[in-house]
Amino acid sequence: MNTLVKFSEERLLKVLLAPVVSEKSTMIAEKNDQVVFRVLSDANKLEIKAAVELLFKVEVESVQVANRQGKQKRSGRFTGRRNHTKRAFVCLKSGQEINFTGEA
């Protein structure tokens, strides 16, 4: 738990934006004991690990991150792009679990 000392608690509370609830993330959660979060684009793996351990009181084994490019969209003759996002795949140690369906 010494990773909590390196980062300010204020920063760690802002790192995780939202859990990703989709078919793919549900399949990953059941198969690999991983949880998927949307995170800040400038967050690194150590910050993500510390934030998950602080907020959910679980032990994190590893973190993988993926940068997703925003989709190109078109409205009439104008084209635009959705925002780029960053996702974190957090692997929990065996026996650990994060339940999003319980009380908030």
Is 18 inside any structural domain? yes
Domain around 18: 3-71+80-92
Residue-wise pLDDT for 10-33, tens only, equals 999 999 999 999 999 999 988 888
Q: Give the C-alpha separation, 22 to 93, whole Å.
A: 22
CB-CB neighbours of 19 under 10 Å: 14
Residue 101, domain member (yes or no): no
Residue 97 forms part of a structural domain: no
- Residue 53, judged by CB atoms within 10 A of its CB (0-12, 13-18, 19+), counts as middle
- 20 within some domain: yes
Output the domain CATH number for residue 61.
3.30.70.330
For the stretch 47-56, pLDDT in tens is 999 999 999 9
Q: Is 17 left (phi over 0), alpha (psi -120 to 50) or beta?
A: alpha
Residue 98, domain member (yes or no): no
